[in-house]
């Protein structure tokens, strides 16, 4: 299945059916009176989160979603049939935006969550509604209300507990493959990863979801390389693992490049808890490890974890550090949701 995380679609709710002008005509009934029914209500347009979806690829092949129109009213006080609703089925983590691409209409994160995007038009009244003591035979009815048409953006932000960041060939895909059930493409050339990958990681009997995004390069915020289009997938993460290639000629410069790109993209992402890992230590001597760890700790101001995703050396320590941050944020979120005890 191809990955697609941004789609533009046109939606339109159904128009209401027109009211009917009709009179009762039966043998031996001289004054039948009005009996025109109301028009049916137009269908609504909904967006709903469904399970087993992790891409918006379906919206590449269908960009127009129109709900059904209401059926006009009929004689004998018959109300027209309501128009059928239409549902946009989206994966969890989908943001729905206005046509400007910035104004958020809804942020759907829970399975089964749904939101009304366009309400169908009301059906028009038939002439039966206009009967009164002074107007016994009204010959008027209301037209149905027009439906609503709008253009919206669907933007998917994968829901993960931890996210991987780093330059191309920093070993992010190897780390994800070594620690989870994901099987991303791994090769010895840059930009092997062309779309985000998710994996479930287990550590000490606990599980969390990790996201790997394509590597960033200097100038990604200006559109170089693959740009920063995939950084939205780590906006929901509790913690970031910033991997630095230990075999690089200048590990501090590699760190600064990613650090700067995260800052230029979003203060929210930049200020997330971050764990720094020096990868590929299996290719370094002990002296080189110590030198590069010290340099990274100085530039990052944080502890640096040495590891090798290829040999699994130091990986468990990194996973435990990641879980510590995730557990702390989950506990904080649970405390905020817990209602205050009632006091008389």
Question: Is 324 labeled as ligand-binding?
Answer: no
Are residues 122 and 176 part of one domain?
Answer: no
Number of domains observed in the structure of the chain: 2
Residues 177 and 183 sit within 8 Å (Cβ to Cβ): yes
**Quick one: pLDDT at residue 227?**
45
Q: Are residues 150 and 209 in the same domain?
A: no
Question: Residue 184: what pLDDT?
Answer: 57
Whether residue 214 is annotated as binding a ligand: the answer is yes
For the purposes of burial, counting CB atoms within 10 Å of the CB of 70, is it exposed (0-12), middle (13-18) or buried (19 or more)?
buried
Nearest residue to 152 via CA among 108, 95, 112: 95
Whether residue 25 lies inside any domain: the answer is: yes
pLDDT at 195: 64
* The pLDDT value given to residue 1: 46
Does the pLDDT of residue 156 top 50, yes or no?
yes
**CA nearest to 206, candidates 52, 324, 312:** 324
Q: What is the pLDDT of residues 64-75, one digit of tens each?
A: 999 999 999 999
Query: What's the rounded mean pLDDT across residues 298-322?
Result: 92
Residue 2 assigned to a binding site? no
Find the length of the chain: 344
Domain encompassing residue 23:
1-156
Rounded Cα gap, residues 196 and 214, in angstroms: 6
pTM for the complete prediction? 0.74
Helix (H, G, I), strand (E, B), or coil: what is residue 93?
Answer: coil
Q: Is 86 annotated as a binding residue?
A: no
Whole-number Å distance between alpha carbons of 58 and 254: 37
Most confident range, picked from 132-141, 178-187, 225-234: 132-141
Domain boundary among 124, 141, 156: 156
Going from the C-alpha of 107 to that of each of 8, 254, 308, the distances in angstroms are: 16, 34, 37
Report whether 172 belongs to an annotated binding site. yes
166 and 138 share one domain: no
- Mean pLDDT, residues 165-174: 84
Distance CA 197, CA 229 (A): 14
Helix ranges (H only) for the chain are 58-61, 172-179, 251-265, 267-270, 286-300, 315-337
Question: pLDDT grade, residue 231 (50/70/90)?
Answer: confident
Q: Tokens at residue 16, please?
A: 């209401």
- CA separation (Å) from 147 to 3, 66, 93? 32, 10, 28
**343 — pLDDT class (breaks 50, 70, 90):** low
The answer on whether 116 is annotated among ligand-binding residues is no
The per-residue pLDDT for 344 is 57
134 annotated as a binding-site residue: no
CB burial readout 47-60, b (16+ within 10 A) else e: bebeeebbbbeebe
**29-33, 106-110, 148-152, 238-242: range with highest mean pLDDT:** 148-152
Does the annotation place 143 within a ligand binding site? Answer: no
Distance CA 195, CA 150 (A): 29
**What's the rounded Cα separation, in Å, for the pair 45 and 51?**
19
How many C-beta atoms lie closer than 10 Å to residue 329's C-beta? Answer: 16
| Top-confidence residue, 182 or 312 | 312
Read off the CATH number of the domain in which 310 is found. 3.40.50.300
C-alpha closest to that of 322 among 220, 199, 232:
199
**166 annotated ligand-binding residue:** yes
Which band of pLDDT confidence, cut at 50, 70 and 90, is reported for residue 333? confident
Same domain, 114 and 3: yes
**Is 344 among the domain residues?**
no
**Is 193 annotated as ligand-binding?**
yes
Q: What is the DSSP string of 54-107?
A: ---THHHH--EEEPPPPPPPBTTTBPPPPPPPEEEEE-TTEEEE-TTS-SEEEE
Same domain, 177 and 314: yes
Cα–Cα distance for residue pair 179/310, rounded to 1 Å: 10
Which letter, b or e, does each residue of 246-268 get, where b requires 16 or more Cβ atoms within 10 Å of its Cβ? bebeebeebbebbbbbbeebbee
* Contact (CB, 8 A) for 3 and 57: yes
Whole-number Å distance between alpha carbons of 37 and 129: 8
C-alpha to C-alpha distance for 221 and 270, rounded to whole angstroms: 13
217 is in an annotated binding site: no
Q: Does pLDDT of 163 surpass 70?
A: yes
282 annotated as ligand-binding: yes
Judge whether 300 is annotated as a binding position: no
331 is in an annotated binding site: no
Q: Answer for the pair 67, 85: CB distance below 8 angstroms, yes or no.
A: yes
Residue 190 assigned to a binding site:
no
Q: Token pair of 44, please?
A: 């609504």
- Percent of the chain scored above 70 by pLDDT? 88
Same domain flag for 26 and 48: yes
Q: Count CB atoms within 10 A of the CB of residue 138.
A: 18
Q: Is 191 annotated as a binding residue?
A: yes
Which pLDDT tens digit goes with each residue over 133-145? 888 889 999 999 9
- What is the CATH number for 59? 2.70.210.12
Q: Alpha-carbon distance 31 to 143, whole Å? A: 26
280 is in an annotated binding site: yes
* pLDDT value for 316: 94
Quote the mean pLDDT of the chain. Answer: 86
Residue 8 annotated as binding site: no
81 lies in a domain? yes
Q: Consult the annotation and say whether 169 binds a ligand.
A: yes
**181 & 33 share domain:** no
Is 279 annotated as contributing to ligand binding? yes
């Amino acid at each position: 299945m191809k990955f697609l995380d941004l789609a533009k679609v046109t939606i339109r709710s159904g128009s209401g059916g027109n009211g009917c002008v009709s009179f009762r005509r039966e043998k031996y009934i001289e004054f039948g009176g009005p009996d025109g029914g109301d028009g049916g209500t137009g269908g609504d347009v909904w967006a709903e989160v469904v399970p087993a979806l992790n891409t918006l690829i379906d919206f590449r092949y269908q960009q127009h979603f129109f709900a059904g129109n209401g059926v006009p009213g009929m004689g004998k006080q018959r109300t027209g049939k309501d128009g059928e609703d239409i549902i946009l089925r989206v994966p969890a983590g989908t943001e729905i935006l206005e046509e400007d691409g910035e104004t958020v209409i809804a942020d759907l994160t829970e399975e089964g969550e749904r939101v009304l995007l366009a309400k169908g038009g009301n059906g028009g009244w038939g002439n039966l509604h206009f009967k009164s003591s002074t107007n016994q035979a009204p010959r008027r009815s209301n037209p149905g209300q027009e439906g609503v048409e709008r253009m919206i953006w669907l933007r998917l932000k994968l829901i993960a507990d931890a996210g991987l960041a780093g330059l191309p060939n920093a070993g992010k895909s190897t780390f994800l493959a070594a620690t989870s059930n994901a099987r991303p493409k791994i090769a010895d050339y840059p930009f092997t990863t062309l779309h985000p990958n998710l994996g479930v990681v287990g550590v000490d009997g606990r599980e969390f979801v990790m996201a790997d995004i394509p590597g960033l390069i200097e100038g990604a915020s200006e559109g170089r390389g693959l740009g920063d289009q995939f950084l939205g997938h780590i906006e929901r993460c509790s913690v970031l693992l910033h991997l630095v290639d230990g075999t690089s000629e200048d590990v501090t410069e590699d760190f600064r490049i990613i650090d700067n790109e995260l800052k230029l993209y979003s203060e929210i992402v930049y200020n997330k808890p971050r764990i720094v890992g020096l990868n590929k230590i299996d290719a370094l001597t002990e002296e080189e490890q110590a030198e590069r760890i010290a340099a990274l700790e100085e530039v990052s101001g944080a502890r640096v974890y040495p590891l090798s995703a290829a040999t699994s050396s130091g990986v468990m320590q990194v996973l435990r550090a990641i879980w510590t941050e995730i557990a702390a944020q989950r506990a904080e979120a649970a405390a905020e949701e817990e209602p205050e005890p009632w006091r008389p």
